[in-house]
A and B are shown apart, each in its own frame.
Chain A
């Protein structure tokens, strides 16, 4: 791909830490889940494990007090992530020329949606606060960011369930390659909400052992997580004009769909996932042996981990495989974007973050358990969602 796009700036808020530096430190130190019982305005019947953004994050401190009174957790998380490390990218262009926004989220603020609903049920339809209705649209966090930073060029939300973060980055790349704009801040966003956590608990997908152990032969489920990771994707000209240089390049990407996954569970043949990875390699003009390591979407859900294992081992053999959900939990639409952030952090510091604990691995996967040195040139990020969506993205590190 000759006109490959640059990734020139990034920021993230993860359970490992608020901000890029804190996340880097947290990955090295290994993150542990916390336990929640009373959450937002609700109470779980029993304590539930979760990976939350550390309490050192306070939206009012980051963003100032005004304008936040009616904003929800998703919106505050997105705005805080932009404000910390990225607000400069919006300062030097007219509103219609500023970098646009393309953010992926699986649920939007389901906390806002569910609370608006439960308030209308409990207090009555004529008692709910009209201002809070605005928080129930899935594009609300992005729209709030457009307003705060006065961005008129693009306001886009992608919501392809667990791939949403990659979908949004791919949408941004497609939008730029189609000539609509030259720079877009793209990534993933998800909050831990009462409703999703309860939904996962009821579906039996939550780990009863309260541990997030991707690829473990005795893994028993996921732990809900949250986070936001954002990347400025732009053309070489846009970057040069702004005096920004590449951290990495978007070399290749692909999305496919497996009609035999979804309501019936994962399709073990992994054909669609395999095709997605091979299409991404072809777009990048790379072969399997060029990939330095894979940032997998493995989560501790045995069914989806098996797909990852099948695809990675059949295409790449013994390539090192990172499983960042051991540190971040399952943050749905944000997850693949958090994986991109962690992969870039690792590639830059020359170490792949290990899962931090030793356990027997299911499938033929070279899972990185203890931090391992790497000289990373090309990194593959995978996300294979339970609904059948498969996405793959290849990052090539700048020299």
Chain B
């Protein structure tokens, strides 16, 4: 799976959560900060982490959680642990 595919899957995840939270989905860009730019909350980020682990069959350590702040950052983290696997 290449970076663009990974980002596309993560974007879909974020869009699904954002729509449910009544957040403006047009704010979702690859570099936008999930909380300060898009308006998600920390519970939503936990769900993003959980969904990524499931979708990509990868185990991401809890210590990475604070770094998962944008589509770009998430994709980089997923790639890092896919490589480890």
Contact = CB atoms under 8 A, between A and B. Distances in A.
**Are A and B in direct contact (Cβ within 8 Å)?**
yes
Interface of A: 65-70, 123, 126-131
Nearest to A67: B20
Q: Lowest 9 A-B CB distances belong to which pairs?
A: A69-B20, A66-B22, A130-B46, A131-B47, A129-B50, A130-B50, A127-B54, A66-B20, A129-B47
B19 A66 contact: yes
Nearest to A131: B47
Given A131-B43, A131-B46, A126 B59 contact: yes
B29 interface: no
A66 B53 contact: no
Q: Is the interface of B mostly helix, strand, loop or mixed?
A: helix
Nearest to B51: A129
B26 to A, nearest CB: 16
B32 interface: no
Nearest to B17: A69
Nearest to B47: A131
Interface residues of B, number: 14
A70 B46 contact: no
Q: Is the interface of A mostly helix, strand, loop or mixed?
A: loop
B53 A126 contact: yes
Nearest to A129: B50
B21 interface: yes
Contacts, number: 32
A133 B16 CA distance: 19
A67 B16 CA distance: 11
Interface in B19-61: 19-22, 43, 46-47, 50-51, 53-54, 59
Contacts of A126: 53, 59
A66 B39 CA distance: 15
Nearest to B20: A69
Given A66-B22, A127-B50, 6 more contacts: A68-B20, A129-B50, A129-B51, A130-B43, A131-B43, A131-B50
A6 B52 CA distance: 52
B47 A66 contact: no
A128 B53 CA distance: 10
Contacts of B20: 65-70
Residue in B16, B20, B21 with the greatest tally of chain A CB atoms within 10 Å: B20
A129 B47 CA distance: 6
Nearest to B22: A66
A156 B38 CA distance: 34
A324 B19 CA distance: 41
A69 B16 contact: yes
B19 A128 contact: no
A118 to B, nearest CB: 16
A133 to B, nearest CB: 10
Nearest to B16: A69
A117 to B, nearest CB: 16
12 contacts: A66-B21, A67-B22, A68-B20, A69-B17, A69-B20, A70-B20, A123-B54, A126-B53, A126-B59, A127-B50, A127-B54, A129-B47
B19 to A, nearest CB: 7
Contacts of B22: 66-67
